Structure 1
Amino acid sequence: MTSMDSDSVSAIQVSCKQTRFQIENPSYRELDIEGLNITVSAGPPTGATKAKGKAASRSTGLEILSDATLRLKPGQRYALIGRNGTGKSTILRAIAEKLIPGIPEEARIFILQQTNDANDGADTKTNRRTVLEEVIERATERDELEQEIKTLSKGIDATEADDDINDAYGALRALRKLRYDRLQKRLFVLDKNARLRSGARGMQARKALTALEKTVAEATESWQQDDADIAAEVLQAETQEAADLLAELQIQAEPARLAHVESRAKSILTGLGFTENMAAKAVGDLSGGWRMRTALAAALLSDADILLLDEPTNFLDMLGIVWLQKFLLANSEERSDDTTSGGRPPRPPPTLILVSHDRDFVSAATDHLILLQEKALTYYTGDLPSYEASQAESRQHLHKLKDAQDKQRAHIQETIARNMREGKKNNDDTRIRQAKMRQKKLDDRWGLETNAKGHRFKLNRDMAGFHHTRRAEIEIPPEARVMNIVLPEPPDLRFPGALISLEGVCFRYGIAKRGQPPLPWTLDTVDLNVHMGDRIGIVGLNGAGKSTLIRLLVGDESSNRAQPTKGSVTTHPRLRLAYYAQDAVDAIRALDTNKGDGGVPLTALSLLTRDVEGKLAEGEIRALLGELGLPGRLASDTPLRRLSGGQLVRCALARLLWQRPQCLVLDEVTTHLDYETSTALRRALRTWPGAVVLVSHDRWFMRGAIEGEVNDETGSGSDDDGNGSDIDDGMGGDGGGPNGRKLVYRLRAGKLTLLEGGVQQFEEQLEKRVKKLLVL
């Protein structure tokens, strides 16, 4: 379970509504918190500027939530949806570290963060553990239990020894040391409560903290007490208490139960792609991606009340993604087996909050949405496509109602004017009175004809107690600005031909030693031609050689592996090729360690200005960054290190697109992108006249960008205009896209095979494998 460090309280400031009548919620899997405010500050507040209560959270820094409601129902699966940089990860962290008043300290909350492996390199003990040991230790906190058993056992053994090393006070000292350590942990919790709470509950928390501080002082004094001052009856009683506590802890560490946990851990690691040899490796020998999988395995194994997963699919291949969504669905059912540690009874399934930019994964793994928009949280029961469809349908319905009502209002106003004119002309008081009554209706009783439930509006029922009689106007919620990425028109090639051609390409890493058989081929006789307008998708599991194939395709000199062992790679002499690598975000972050001119931190604008070398004016650079979602001061004033992963992806794309390429080679470009940006890029790639070679584990993105699928894009931020017709940008072609080929290949065992059924065929093959791997 992620612990709260000292900096996190100052970095994330939280306040919410509290009541003096505190009612403890018996379900640790449920939250109902109102008036929630979360602000991220640049650093800890100073004594001179330190504010209290709600003002503290709004005084400085970036406001994430303002007067929001956080409501979680036990055992439900939620997807937290929001644009890059809106604070989704911050909200998860505030929940995990229990910074929000109202989250019980007894609740077991486990979080997988995007950067969970950041501190592993500094933890020598973690690096020495095997993957299996690390997963079990993180999930069950077995080390803490084993350390307590070890401390008590050592003290009791010293007390019961028959030789010269007999220590009659060994068990007593071990027991008092254990009490002291537990009180220190409790002290940390109460200290945090006292700092986070205010008013009557804050006073109560500070009283509890003061009382515990006295208890800790007494425990410290007791632990350091001289042997001569300990009475014989106290020695006997505490020695027996130590023996009883040791027996209780040993029951909790029952080998059979731990063996069951170990078996389940092995099953989860297998589902996430670990072989037996990899599970036996030391954690320190793993790459960052495999460390993230280790952290994910620990999260899935944990016996949590609330499980928080932040981008769990970032380092998974498509097999791992399909396995994970099936696992989460199966794990949401009531547990009938005892999978918990510590001798506790079986626990119900956890409440899940998931952040992911993989639309297919989110739609399959969750059944509720939490939408982070305009510093507020709104809730929807259903998946993302149904939400977008309902929003589009509701907006369209309101438009029709308003249009009809506007026409009716214009007709009534025309009738009123005519009746008043003719009434005054003919001295007809009846017509004048009728016109005034209709005008009063327009002024006082015009608006919605139905209430929130769809029933006909009744004044005495729907507006009871109001001193006025004016109904609410029909208000159409503002439609979110649809992000639109415009890919630059590629220059003319002047003469036809393949952009890139691979013929009989073979590649292997290294050379076999003398007397040993040759090393296996990473790529074996690969033939691939890329023409203008082609859409080529490459799928396969991790380690299949996709990135190797891409590096050969683009001639990536930085890898020193750009030449095939056999075969040939030829390119069009006038080809402009842009390559987005898997590590593009990390590469930009590394650039930020090198300051710009004069030691000023690099920004997106200064980085791109340096790249273009005067070939574009500043206004053109700003326009390009703005189209990709980095407008104004975000591009010019925000250092690269402060941009989110998705914003750094946009910056990397800008570095490619200004060159006006004829071929885009994209290797996992959607890893950090939010839904709006992924949708905009998907739409732009589908209609762009250049060639696209795409490697991705995102099934939804692959189906749209490569296969041209559009029927699953509805609502705000999608390709659909709400009437079922796709937006046409005038480029023509099949379904608004280019006239090139649309091909999906699978790379397996070095062989590149065309999938006639496309992404769907590959997914069906993976689901068959998942059925064999999924063992709960």
Structure 2
Amino acid sequence: MASMNSASVSAIQVSCKQTRFHIESPNYRELDIEGLNIVVTASPPSGTTKTKGKAASRSTGLEILSDATLRLKAGQRYALIGQNGTGKSTILRSIAEKLIPGIPEEARISVLQQTNANNDGADATSNRRTVLEEVLERATAKDELEQEIQTLTQGIDATAADDDGSDAYAALRALRKVRHDRLQKRLFVLDKNARLRSGARGMQARKALTALEKTVAEATVSWQEEDTDIAAEVLQAETQEAADMLAELQIQAEPARLAHIESRAKSILGGLGFSETMVATKPVGDLSGGWRMRTALAAALLSDADILLLDEPTNFLDMLGIVWLQKFLLANSEGAAGDDTTSGGEPARPPPTLILVSHDRDFVSAATDHLILLQDKALTYYTGDLPSYEAAQAESRHHLHKLKDAQDRQRAHLQETIARNMREGKKNNDDTRIRQAKMRQKKLDDRWGLETNANGHRFKLNRDMPGFHHTRRAEIEIAPEARAMNIVLPNPPDLRFPGALISLEGVCFRYGTAKKTPSPPPPWTLDTIDLNVHMGDRIGIVGLNGAGKSTLIRLLVGDDATTASGQTQSSPRPTKGTVTMHPRLRLAYYAQDAVDTIRALDNGSTTNEDGTPLTALSLLTRDVEGKLSEGDLRALLGELGLPGRLASDTPLRRLSGGQLVRCALARLLWQRPQCLVLDEVTTHLDYETSTALRRALRSWPGAVVLVSHDRWFMRGAIEGNIDDEIGSGLDDDGNESDLDDGAGGNGGGPSGRKLVYRLRAGKLTLLEGGVQQFEDQLEKRVKKLLAL
């Protein structure tokens, strides 16, 4: 059993099956762990009585996995798929921190976590490093290597000095200091092993820890030994050993090898959107959270890892960065991203085993070739991408529905025959008919079920269900379809008179012109923007980070829009041009930082009147101020995937990112807006919720203005595509059906315009080819970046 405390006062408890004959695989890129159990528990508040025992910890904790199997093959690319709140990030964290017994400590695991942007750069040293220095340090531990070289160099130089200030013992003390520091790091590893393992392996780990503790104590005494107590032969031997160790370290830090790594680091940072100036001179402490996340991603990609874990790597990337990362992972896996040999002429290491968590469907489908499905506290595996898995599941369900329907008709006919034979047999005293009816009834009771086995052949009881105790065949069971939830957007009220909801005419905007205009003036952030939004329109805006999309959105919504934080916000004014709105317009705006805003509302000090932490229901109750009943609020939250106790009892800080997005949407939708302006709404949403929201936006009669880097979501919500949607074309009974209420077009919906614009260099350009045209343009740029 393993436990690890986090800053959120929670613990991850891990256990799995182990035997005393367990032999760790020499291939650190593979994992094969059975009987895996992961439980996340929260430490009780101070002053409360702690319940002892495993049962108590399980009853108060959230069970993520139960008797699951974690199996990874070397060099494969896996996508970990599961709904929000099921524990995907917890599983990655358990692997990264080697909390799972059976993961060798020697395995090199590199991880990008969702919380990296908030935790990185906490120390002053890291804040002072440039972006390039930070990436190199994280990926190669360059500072640690250089520190050891510096310590040994200073000691050897002091020993070899010709002047009177020479110190014959300086090299020896430097060597012993380096040894002592290395032993301390090894002690930390063995201490964790001893806490993680139990039984025979646990006893062996504790013996190794005890032995190393004695070695560390001896090394401490040796390091602090007086010079007069050191024998001459020991001095000579350890001085030579210090020189040998320094030579080995200098080989590792040879300029050619470091130059090769630095070149790769610059290439990766360039692909992720960093300019040359940012790479060379920008201190990490001056970066925003999004750029820090990119720095952490670059370090993870650069590291020489056996297993690479990426948790939502696309959250802070624009579409160019997403397409580049997608191509980089494929090229790296196929051996095309690097050379066949290292700079020293040695064979290059094979590609790492990849586990990817992302809610960008197009990215996951292109970057991975295996699925790990997290459902019902178990892990199931599928070879192929997400669309092929969904197609196979839909085909299997359709086939089982046909089998069940045919069997139900056959059963009804047989029951009718049995009833008729019994009735006529008793009437005519025909024992043959009665006996025949009883035999058929016995078949229904004891031998009715599947007519074919898993391979499609005729079912045989003695072959497919061996054992004298089996008398019934397996019934045809159709598992509930993993469909998207059904989000129902409230119908907007009538406007009473027609007209454009929002109109931008000749809008220009630049920053830094409030008081004085510098000479020359800065370039236009937005240059002569003309845009009209009418009822039923679907307007998509794409562009790279920094193009001004969020600025355009804030000009579009003005000061009267209600945001997901529940408050109105101050928006910039256009430098030139006009922005007009329909006088009866209700406009709701989902900002990029909506999740962070809600998290800030419950930072541990904000509570309800009774002192309990804020929940989704209590937060929404404060927003509506009595305008909706509790039943209406619960219905709204339930439709968005926050039902029952999850909405009323779970503190906001315990909700996942995707659940907080749903809470933010509820704060917008209860007001029944006529226009929804959504800026990166899918950042934390799982596939099911994204599909439901995509479908709801497609058929909603109001207007939608969407900014998103999610190509799949944009194609469905704006362009009306449904061909790549979960369960498209089949209803619950496996029959053909339409997913949308509207008719006509590719997926129906309101009769408004469907337009995709690209914002670049301040200009808003209509893309006739839609999202695909923008993606094709980015593909050309990515090819050039990867060729550098």
TM-score bracket for this pair, using the shorter chain length: over 0.9
CA distance in 1, matches of 2:4, 2:426: 79
AA paired with 2:634? R
Relative distance call for 1:148 and 1:572 in structure 2 (3 A) is same
Query: Residue 570 of structure 1: SS of its match in structure 2?
Result: strand
Aligned runs of 1:324-723 on 2, under 5 Å? 324-334=325-335, 337=339, 345-480=347-482, 482-511=484-513, 516-556=519-559, 561-593=571-603, 594-597=606-609, 599-715=611-727, 723=735
Q: CA deviation at 1:672?
A: 0.8
Q: CA deviation at 1:426?
A: 4.8
- Deviates most, 445-454 or 29-38: 445-454
Q: CA deviation at 1:413?
A: 3.0
Relative distance call for 1:518 and 1:266 in structure 2 (3 A) is same
Q: CA deviation at 1:562?
A: 2.3
Aligned runs of 1:284-363 on 2, under 5 Å? 284-334=285-335, 337=339, 345-363=347-365
Which 5+ residue runs of structure 1 have no aligned equivalent? none
TM-score normalised per structure 1:
0.95
Q: Does 1:21 align with 2:21?
A: yes
Relative distance call for 1:439 and 1:718 in structure 2 (3 A) is closer
CA distance in 1, matches of 2:468, 2:380: 27
CA distance in 1, matches of 2:740, 2:257: 61
Q: CA deviation at 1:67?
A: 0.8
CA distance in 1, matches of 2:50, 2:576: 68
AA paired with 1:589? R
Cα displacement string for residues 332-353 of structure 1 (whole angstroms, at most 9, x for unaligned residues): 1137626779997421111111
AA paired with 1:748? R
Relative distance call for 1:373 and 1:267 in structure 2 (3 A) is same
Relative distance call for 1:173 and 1:374 in structure 2 (3 A) is same
Cα displacement string for residues 24-69 of structure 1 (whole angstroms, at most 9, x for unaligned residues): 20211111111111111112899995767x6586253111111111
The question of whether the paired residues in 2 share the 8 Å contact of 1:64 and 1:87 is answered with yes
CA distance in 1, matches of 2:779, 2:742: 39
Aligned to 2:565: none
Query: Residue 146 of structure 2: SS of its match in structure 1?
Result: helix
Which 5+ residue runs of structure 2 have no aligned equivalent? 561-567
Aligned runs of 1:109-120 on 2, under 5 Å? 109-120=109-120
Q: CA deviation at 1:420?
A: 4.0
Cα displacement string for residues 95-146 of structure 1 (whole angstroms, at most 9, x for unaligned residues): 0000000001110001100111323342110111000111111111111111
AA paired with 1:577? L
Relative distance call for 1:299 and 1:416 in structure 2 (3 A) is same
CA distance in 2, matches of 1:188, 1:55: 29
The question of whether the paired residues in 1 share the 8 Å contact of 2:158 and 2:167 is answered with yes
AA paired with 1:744? V
Relative distance call for 1:718 and 1:427 in structure 2 (3 A) is closer
The question of whether the paired residues in 2 share the 8 Å contact of 1:715 and 1:722 is answered with no
Aligned to 2:125: 125
Query: Residue 145 of structure 1: SS of its match in structure 2?
Result: helix
Q: CA deviation at 1:478?
A: 2.3
Q: CA deviation at 1:660?
A: 0.8
Relative distance call for 1:693 and 1:48 in structure 2 (3 A) is closer
CA distance in 1, matches of 2:343, 2:34: 34
AA paired with 1:485? I
CA distance in 1, matches of 2:9, 2:743: 53
Q: CA deviation at 1:736?
A: 2.6
CA distance in 2, matches of 1:603, 1:427: 72
Aligned to 1:195: 195
Aligned to 1:737: 749
CA distance in 1, matches of 2:643, 2:127: 42
- Deviates most, 725-734 or 277-286: 725-734
Relative distance call for 1:114 and 1:514 in structure 2 (3 A) is closer
- Deviates most, 179-188 or 681-690: 179-188
AA paired with 1:129? R
The question of whether the paired residues in 2 share the 8 Å contact of 1:108 and 1:306 is answered with yes
CA distance in 1, matches of 2:175, 2:526: 62
Relative distance call for 1:341 and 1:464 in structure 2 (3 A) is farther
Relative distance call for 1:720 and 1:663 in structure 2 (3 A) is farther
Q: CA deviation at 1:472?
A: 1.3
Relative distance call for 1:418 and 1:341 in structure 2 (3 A) is farther
CA distance in 2, matches of 1:45, 1:349: 45
CA distance in 2, matches of 1:554, 1:123: 39
Aligned to 1:138: 138
Query: Residue 490 of structure 1: SS of its match in structure 2?
Result: coil
Aligned to 1:726: 738
TM-score normalised per structure 2:
0.93
Q: CA deviation at 1:466?
A: 4.1
AA paired with 1:437? M
Relative distance call for 1:411 and 1:508 in structure 2 (3 A) is same
Query: Residue 524 of structure 1: SS of its match in structure 2?
Result: strand
CA distance in 1, matches of 2:757, 2:742: 29
- Deviates most, 490-499 or 469-478: 469-478
Overall identity of the aligned pairs, in %: 87
Aligned to 2:224: 224
Q: CA deviation at 1:464?
A: 2.9
Q: CA deviation at 1:690?
A: 0.6
Aligned runs of 1:172-251 on 2, under 5 Å? 172-251=172-251
CA distance in 1, matches of 2:345, 2:150: 19
CA distance in 1, matches of 2:672, 2:434: 69
CA distance in 2, matches of 1:55, 1:144: 44
Aligned to 2:778: 766
Count of aligned residue pairs for this structure pair: 773
Cα displacement string for residues 218-272 of structure 1 (whole angstroms, at most 9, x for unaligned residues): 2222222222222111111111111111111111111101100000100001100
Q: CA deviation at 1:686?
A: 0.5
The question of whether the paired residues in 2 share the 8 Å contact of 1:12 and 1:39 is answered with yes
CA distance in 1, matches of 2:331, 2:732: 33
Q: CA deviation at 1:74?
A: 0.8
Relative distance call for 1:340 and 1:590 in structure 2 (3 A) is farther
Query: Residue 642 of structure 2: SS of its match in structure 1?
Result: coil
Relative distance call for 1:590 and 1:691 in structure 2 (3 A) is same
CA distance in 2, matches of 1:732, 1:766: 31
- Deviates most, 519-528 or 174-183: 174-183
Relative distance call for 1:389 and 1:724 in structure 2 (3 A) is farther
AA paired with 1:151? T
Relative distance call for 1:751 and 1:393 in structure 2 (3 A) is same
Q: CA deviation at 1:486?
A: 0.9
- Deviates most, 464-473 or 135-144: 464-473
Q: CA deviation at 1:284?
A: 0.8
The question of whether the paired residues in 2 share the 8 Å contact of 1:480 and 1:716 is answered with no
Query: Residue 372 of structure 1: SS of its match in structure 2?
Result: strand
The question of whether the paired residues in 2 share the 8 Å contact of 1:646 and 1:673 is answered with yes
Q: CA deviation at 1:733?
A: 7.7
- Deviates most, 680-689 or 333-342: 333-342
- Deviates most, 351-360 or 555-564: 555-564
